[in-house]
């Protein structure tokens, strides 16, 4: 079983499902919340983002779906485009199909984004690389450092979910 999580880049799901037809896809809900906040009045941001959190912090997919329906009915008159895009997004609730202890890690791209931010910070310090190979060596060393640091580390909740995940993967084969 493969799970892809991304910020909703246009065409990404088509590409993923073309190459991996049995994969699952989760839209990054942090990116969705950020996009919502950019599309609403500043005076509504805190309230609308708080209401949206109820969608991905619910106990179950059913409760999350109910929270989304409540969200859409509350905000539809003021922000019809926002509510329509959320109601039509089939990839908001994928993470609910996984053990509760790891859901928080699955509804956002924060893990990889922090690494990307680190790479960006380090490459800015260098200002320029003498050639493409120097950049490649630098990136490979960063990837190796990252992999060594996190190779044996179990991310939050995955230790608790180990048995459930093993059962999920066994039935997926």
Same domain, 69 and 28: yes
Name 60's Cβ contacts closer than 8 Å, sequence gap at least 6: 96
Which of 57, 80, 106 marks a domain boundary? 106
- Does 14 lie in the same domain as 54? yes
Which helix (H) or strand (E) segment is 59 a member of? none
pLDDT of residue 172: 60
Q: Which domain holds residue 14?
A: 3-106
- The answer, yes or no, to whether residue 127 has pLDDT greater than 80, is no
pLDDT of residue 135: 84
User: Which neighbouring-strand residues pair with 6?
Assistant: 27
- Residue 102 is predicted with a pLDDT of 80
- Boundary (domain end) residue, out of 84, 106, 128: 106
Domains in the chain: how many in total? 2
Mean pLDDT for 155-172 is 71
Quote the pTM value: 0.74
- What are the start-end ranges of the E strands in 14-107? 24-27
**For residue 15, pLDDT beyond 70:** yes
């Amino acid at each position: 079983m493969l799970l892809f999580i991304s910020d909703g880049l246009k065409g990404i799901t088509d590409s993923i499902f073309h190459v991996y037809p049995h994969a699952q896809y989760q839209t990054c809900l942090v990116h969705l919340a950020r996009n919502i906040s950019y599309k609403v009045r500043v005076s509504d941001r805190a309230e609308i983002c708080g209401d949206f959190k109820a969608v991905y912090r619910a106990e179950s997919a059913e409760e999350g779906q109910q929270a989304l329906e409540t969200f859409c009915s509350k905000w539809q008159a003021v922000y019809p485009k926002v509510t329509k895009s959320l109601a039509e997004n089939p990839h908001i609730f994928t993470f609910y199909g996984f053990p509760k202890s790891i859901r928080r890690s699955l509804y956002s791209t924060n893990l990889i984004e922090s690494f990307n931010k680190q790479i960006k910070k380090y490459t800015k310090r260098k200002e320029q690389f003498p050639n493409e190979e120097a950049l490649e060596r630098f990136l490979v060393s960063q990837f190796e450092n990252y992999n060594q640091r996190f190779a044996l580390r179990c991310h939050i909740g995955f230790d608790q979910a180990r048995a459930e995940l093993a059962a999920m993967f066994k039935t997926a084969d």
